[in-house]
Structure 1
């Protein structure tokens, strides 16, 4: 971990899907995300067993606060020390923490304070892990392959979700929460040697942040100024933030309450979520296969607006079958806009700033948006699902309007 394998000139020019270096990173990412899926199932099950539903909900939300507070600092750390080193270190800490909790649960059984401490630790480490993961692709492949890598990453994430949650459920059924935590730790552990084998490009000397001569606060200020003055990144950040805020409430707490009101039951919710997953996975697959789509800025803005209309429609569909169809459309449009926005972030950003850029773009979706879910639930209780879904759709649609209204973002293209 102290020696970073370096890519030589020309080694990162091959297609991403044929590059062993990219495939090692992708395997590590998929294993880590699958471990996360098992972890969240184990945590929710153990929390329900250890306390009341309200206490379990509190445990599940503990990680959001440190993630929101520390995310920008995590971006600085990723840029100062290198994303590869930070990802390896944070994955190792995540693995050790989960395995330690698994051992303690075997000895003592579920205890709320222990689960809350684990969730808190995960939130702190995620604040460093997420920006580093976002900064790594630009250091392991050529610029022309970044859009394809973004599609491959999205596809790997969807596959990890499909594997992780059922694997967590089987582990809980077989040996309880302790076994599930052990399985999560094992999956995360698989990612560490793969990441150690990943080679990265060195940054040009004049692009490398002067970590030894400036303070972390100065690096953060410089990064935020870089984003604010960038003609593409500045409106793109606002579009991503509004899109995430408008999407999180309907497709988390909102969908649960909608299914309950319509009497569709758990199977109905499962089918709706499956429809969304198929749509989102298809969008990632399209970008992974094609490598790029023309008029990236226009596609991103247009798909955000179209997705917002589909979100508003979801609250008014009459049957499970119609809801599945609308959810598939939402997944396709949200997946497409997310993939295009992510690809634009990767290709428009200077690699020396990508940790901080990723931190800012992730701050709303992973930090602030989860904290808004109780407010959304209260609003649905007061006014119903229809008005809240429409209001969320308006917020989401504003992101698309901003993307199409900003000339440089609207004209932005992905490298060919």
Structure 2
């Protein structure tokens, strides 16, 4: 698919993302919000375990996933109807008020278990609005040729939040208890609000000069949702990309989560061994994000997409067969690197090709596979490893994820897909 022409756009829209103040404000706000998420979950779990058993703690921690999954597609409709920045601002403000209210309640009294469950449910529902909208923002704050770089920067931000969030939450609890941790999370959400308010938004027409003339006026929520699903299914590039991403997540998520824990226990590598494997995967994923953030463009994106997925599948199928911890750690780094390249390229190509009128709904479908469908593989992978051992399950999951590469290679539009390049100065 030919990349949208950008030479007619004002020169300011082709500013490299890492030097674009607009992008950096968005990235700072996004990072603050992600760290706030991590601190919130740390505080929620700690607050629950103070007055409940392990099963109840698990209930509290999982409660937010249900409304997030059920309402995610509706959040995509809202982002397309009401403009993504408005939805992000509104949902982030709601999260801020909710968590600061919880902080006040915790400071006054130990909250009952049902209150924590209610907070998790409300937070999950608001997250269903926030996630699709924040995913639809990058094409409205930068030019198409910078989307790959922004995707890499966004992935680095995610890794940073995963590293920084729990220690920040732990430090806050050490200094002022659970109430201080909730307060810290609320203030991080509040920090993102003024940064989001100062963003300069590009008009939908500037985002994509090939904007579809088929986008309909807003109708019912159900009608808009079905319209978005039809758009994804009929799009020659986005349809296969979304399908390949969903297959990849279903194949990888279970073995990277539950599977790695059970593999480590099966081999007797201990907690430190698990740490080495997970850390190596994270390092590989961070390296791939840094590569795309620095390079900003990679050649033959469609073929590289399929190649990186096949490499990751081979690593996933092999990691349960190797006898030593250091070999497993190397393979985990390779899986993280290839999975990171695949995910970043897939996301950048989708955002480049998507009609701005549908971008919120497209993002909501992509994210639904991450937060709604992919986690369903956890109990299946756990039961399968319990019955047959880790090796055949890892091989089977790697083979299943490789079906995503088959989808990519079967589509001529994806095979020929290229990332837009920054126009040279004249």
1:103 aligns with 2:111: no
Write the distance in 2 (CA, Å) between the matches of 1:152 and 1:181.
27
User: Any stretches of 5+ residues in structure 2 without a counterpart?
Assistant: 1-8, 422-426
Instruction: Find 1:353's aligned residue among 349, 358, 362.
Output: 358
Matches within 5 A, 1:202-281: 202-204=203-205, 214-281=219-286
Write the distance in 2 (CA, Å) between the matches of 1:97 and 1:319.
47
Q: 1:71 to 1:317 in 2, by over 3 A?
A: same
1:188 aligns with 2:211: no
Residues 74-94 of structure 1 show CA distances to partners (whole Å, capped at 9, x for unaligned) of 101001100111111111111
User: Any stretches of 5+ residues in structure 1 without a counterpart?
Assistant: 1-7
Write the distance in 2 (CA, Å) between the matches of 1:54 and 1:378.
19
SS in structure 1 of the partner of residue 40 of structure 2: helix
Write the distance in 2 (CA, Å) between the matches of 1:90 and 1:34.
16
TM-score (norm 2): 0.91
Matches within 5 A, 1:288-303: 288-303=293-308
Deviation at 1:131?
0.8
Aligned to 2:79: 78
SS in structure 1 of the partner of residue 79 of structure 2: helix
Write the distance in 2 (CA, Å) between the matches of 1:207 and 1:236.
19
Write the distance in 1 (CA, Å) between the matches of 2:196 and 2:29.
6
Aligned to 1:15: 16
1:128 aligns with 2:129: yes
Deviation at 1:380?
2.3
1:306 aligns with 2:307: no
Write the distance in 2 (CA, Å) between the matches of 1:303 and 1:58.
37
1:370 aligns with 2:375: yes
Write the distance in 1 (CA, Å) between the matches of 2:24 and 2:16.
11
Deviation at 1:9?
4.8
SS in structure 2 of the partner of residue 268 of structure 1: helix
Deviation at 1:342?
0.6
Deviation at 1:333?
0.6
Write the distance in 2 (CA, Å) between the matches of 1:45 and 1:379.
31
Aligned to 1:43: 44
TM-score (norm 1): 0.93
Deviation at 1:207?
5.9
Q: 1:320 to 1:309 in 2, by over 3 A?
A: same
Q: 1:347 to 1:249 in 2, by over 3 A?
A: same
Give structure 1 regions of 4+ aligned residues with deviation exceeding 4 angstroms: 205-211
Write the distance in 1 (CA, Å) between the matches of 2:267 and 2:254.
18
Deviation at 1:217?
2.1
Deviation at 1:12?
2.1
SS in structure 2 of the partner of residue 372 of structure 1: helix
Q: 1:202 to 1:399 in 2, by over 3 A?
A: same
Write the distance in 2 (CA, Å) between the matches of 1:50 and 1:387.
41
Write the distance in 1 (CA, Å) between the matches of 2:408 and 2:298.
16
Aligned to 1:113: 114
Write the distance in 1 (CA, Å) between the matches of 2:325 and 2:49.
29
Root-mean-square deviation (CA, aligned residues, Å) is 1.9
Deviation at 1:138?
0.5
User: 1:307, 1:330 within 8 Å by CA — same for their partners in 2?
Assistant: yes
Matches within 5 A, 1:169-180: 169-180=170-181
Aligned residues: 408
User: 1:146, 1:343 within 8 Å by CA — same for their partners in 2?
Assistant: yes
Instruction: Find 1:409's aligned residue among 402, 414, 423.
Output: 414
User: 1:64, 1:368 within 8 Å by CA — same for their partners in 2?
Assistant: no
Q: 1:385 to 1:77 in 2, by over 3 A?
A: same
Aligned to 2:5: none
Deviation at 1:110?
4.9
Write the distance in 2 (CA, Å) between the matches of 1:346 and 1:58.
35
Aligned to 1:4: none
Write the distance in 1 (CA, Å) between the matches of 2:61 and 2:387.
24
Write the distance in 2 (CA, Å) between the matches of 1:255 and 1:169.
25
